[in-house]
Each structure stands twice: as C-alpha cells, then as structure tokens.
Amino acid sequence: MVAAATSAGRYVVAHAGTPESMKRAIAGGIETIEHGDGGTAEIFS
C-alpha cells in the first residue's frame, strides 16, 4: 500500500495510539501518524 501510494506522489498516514503500533507504522513507511498521544520519547526522537 505504501509503495503504491508513494509511487503516485501521495503520503500514507496512520492512526496509531501505542508505542508498538507507532514503531510498526514507521517501519512500514508511514509518513504521518495521527493521534499519537501514547508516543514515548523513543518514538519521537
């Protein structure tokens, strides 16, 4: 999904509320994380 979107010049965003889900979204190539209230210093660095 990320490859198809980025090849069309689009970003992929995700809703992620836990540190683990944010790590997985980042590893998957997500450009922006919405509702990242549960992020930790590790995630935001």
> If you average pLDDT over residues 19-32, what whole number do you get?
94
> What is the per-residue pLDDT for 35?
87
Neighbours of 36 (CB within 10 A): 19
> What is the per-residue pLDDT for 45?
83
Percent of the chain with pLDDT over 90: 76
Model confidence at 19, pLDDT cuts 50, 70, 90, reads very high
What secondary structure letter does DSSP report for 27? Answer: H
Tokens of 1: 């999904």
> If you average pLDDT over residues 26-32, what whole number do you get?
93
